Amino acid sequence: MATLVTGIGLVGTSFAQEALKRGERLVFFDFQPRLEFLKRKLGEAKVDVIQKDIRDLPALVQAMKDHNVDTVVHTAGLIGARVAESLYSGLQINVIGTINVGEAVRLTGVKRLVHISTLSVYNRRLEGSTPISEDFPRGDGFPYGNSKVAKELMLEAYQNLYGFELIILRLANVFGLGHFWGGSGGGEKIQTLLEKGLRGEVARIPQEQTMSFEYVYAKDVGRAIDLAATVPLPAKTVFNIGNGQVLTFDELTAAVRRVLPTLRVEIIPGRPSHLSVKQPLDNSQAKQFLSWEPRFTMESAFEDYLEELKQS
């Protein structure tokens, strides 16, 4: 048996690092696999890589059959502003690609699908002052958030009708050593701050990335996904995965300066972000049903991240 991971990005490879520790056989499915990045994250570990598009349903079905897949971790898709660059194509990749994953799971009898979602599904126009739980209203009216809501709804419909196991993880902004092709502006921002600070250079950050936000370290995320893929099916199946703290941009840079005191930052003028988070995620459901909570603080995550940057 094997686990198929859609997408060779930060989230998928962080899960793979955990899954390989328990000897899991892994198959990556990506239309443009970044093999150098995969090696950077997994070293010489033996994994299979299939270069196909998530919109290719027959290829997904064949991959699951050929590799005797019983678990799928679905991470593939565009993030943030990348969805709106060409809305039709962005929705095709995110929504139709996800429908294909659900259909392939149905056709091949996969036991469990772990779907990677985001804190951006929540309708922040309704924010109050308490942490956001998993039953908070969805849909913020913007391309990325709405596409992620649609992905959840489509998979919920598939699961209700066909009965496979579905676990949804709604992640805060994931940061860690990555390539950020998919469009994670927040992840790229933190990597820029750390890389430039390490080199003694000025970190130039677009104004639209200076919003208040909640973050979570990739290694904590990898552990959460591995738990979601392996625990007996819990009574609850939708989980927030964050660090429980919203940081302003000034608080974020201050946290970086605690490990890189000479960091210099320049803001590139532009449009402000449409999103500035006020409420953190409530992680209590993940703690209760997955036995997961973050192990890294922002500072300890930055220290670990810097060690990876120095070695790469």
Angle at 210 between CA 297 and CA 284, to 5 degrees: 40
Check 122, 144, 217, 305 and give the catalytic one: 144
First to last CA, the chain: 32
pLDDT reported for residue 184: 80
pLDDT digits (tens, 9 = 90+) for 191-200: 999 999 999 9
pTM of the model: 0.96
In angstroms, the CA 151 to CA 128 distance is: 25
Residue ranges matching CATH 3.40.50.720 in the chain = 2-174+215-242+279-295
Neighbour-count burial of 176, counting CB atoms closer than 10 A to its CB (0-12 exposed, 13-18 middle, 19+ buried) = buried
pLDDT reported for residue 270: 87
Instruction: Look at residue 312 and tell me whether its pLDDT is greater than 80.
Output: no
Take residue 3 and report the two structure tokens written for it: 């686990």
- Mean pLDDT across the chain, nearest whole number? 95
pLDDT reported for residue 50: 98
**How far from 190 is each of 25, 97, 187, 275, CA to CA, in Å?**
31, 28, 5, 17
Take residue 147 and report the two structure tokens written for it: 């596409």
pLDDT reported for residue 185: 84
Least confident of 10-14, 121-125, 179-183, 231-235: 179-183
**How far from 119 is each of 72, 122, 125, CA to CA, in Å?**
21, 6, 13
215 noted as active-site residue: no
Element (H, E) at 268: strand 264-268
In angstroms, the CA 37 to CA 156 distance is: 32
pLDDT digits (tens, 9 = 90+) for 211-263: 999 999 999 999 999 999 999 999 999 999 999 999 999 999 999 999 999 99
**How far from 64 is each of 23, 32, 69, 103, 236, CA to CA, in Å?**
19, 19, 5, 11, 26
Q: Is CATH 3.40.50.720 what the domain over 2-174+215-242+279-295 is classified as, yes or no?
A: yes
DSSP codes, 32-93: S--HHHHHHHHTT---EEE---TT-HHHHHHHHHHTTEEEEEE--S--THHHHHTHHHHHII
